[in-house]
Chain A
């Protein structure tokens, strides 16, 4: 069974850097074709793609946020880390870790439960 679990701070201050970790279970990024991404959803609003990384370390970022985002995977390929710099109250959202469609099919096969991150001083 594939699961993804997000962890990280639920409250950050404006201008701080957010670091979120996604822990994979039932699969890893050592599997050829596998990919993991991040998507966020502000309260009551639409989903917004942030970034994804594939097994071959191919990384893509939402161009509207690219300068603020970094996505990496650890050496075991069972954790994916997203960092977002210069946080602002408009970045308050639920952040979801996602399993991407295999072989660069850029839809979401499965979702983590999400973590609500609030940006406030």
Chain B
């Protein structure tokens, strides 16, 4: 089971946003983060817990291993308004997602 918190995060432009994802058992570094803007399909941000996908801005960073993971947006931009999903791919079933964290612009 993947648990994301908080459910909603309100951050002012230019401030740091910290999103958390917890796994019920260790998943090593097999953790991905996705961004889903309103009305759009998700987009891969991070895989391997900390590897930015192609074309992803450097303000997005991932960290953690085992059961605790963090996605950090170093300086929030207005276009970062979205729901962020974490997903483990270490344990069976091989793709389980968290419930998502909604990032709002304060």
Contacts and interface: CB of A to CB of B under 8 A. Distances in A.
Contacts of A110: 44
B85 A47 contact: yes
Given A47-B87, A106-B89, A108-B32, A113 B41 contact: yes
B95 A96 contact: no
A62 B93 CA distance: 7
B38 to A, nearest CB: 12
Task: Report, as a range, how many residues of chain B touch the other chain.
Answer: 20 to 34
A46 B85 contact: yes
A49 B85 CA distance: 13
B52 to A, nearest CB: 13
A46 B99 contact: yes
Given A46-B100, A49-B97, A105 B47 contact: yes
A107 B45 CA distance: 11
Q: Which of B42, B53, B94, B95 has the most CB of A within 10 A?
A: B95
Interface in B37-72: 41-44, 47, 53
B46 to A, nearest CB: 9
Contacts of B34: 108
A49 B41 contact: no
B44 A109 contact: yes
Contact of A107 (B44, B93, B99, B100): B44
A48 interface: yes
Interface string B65-106: 000000000000000000001010100011111111000000
A108 B53 CA distance: 11
Contacts of A60: 93-94
Q: Which of A39, A46, A96, A105 has the most CB of B within 10 A?
A: A46
A111 B43 contact: yes
Interface of A: 37, 39, 46-49, 52, 60, 62-63, 96, 101, 105-114
Given A47-B85, A49-B94, A107-B44, 18 more contacts: A46-B98, A46-B100, A47-B42, A47-B97, A47-B100, A49-B93, A52-B95, A60-B93, A60-B94, A62-B93, A101-B47, A106-B95, A107-B89, A108-B32, A108-B34, A109-B53, A111-B42, A112-B41
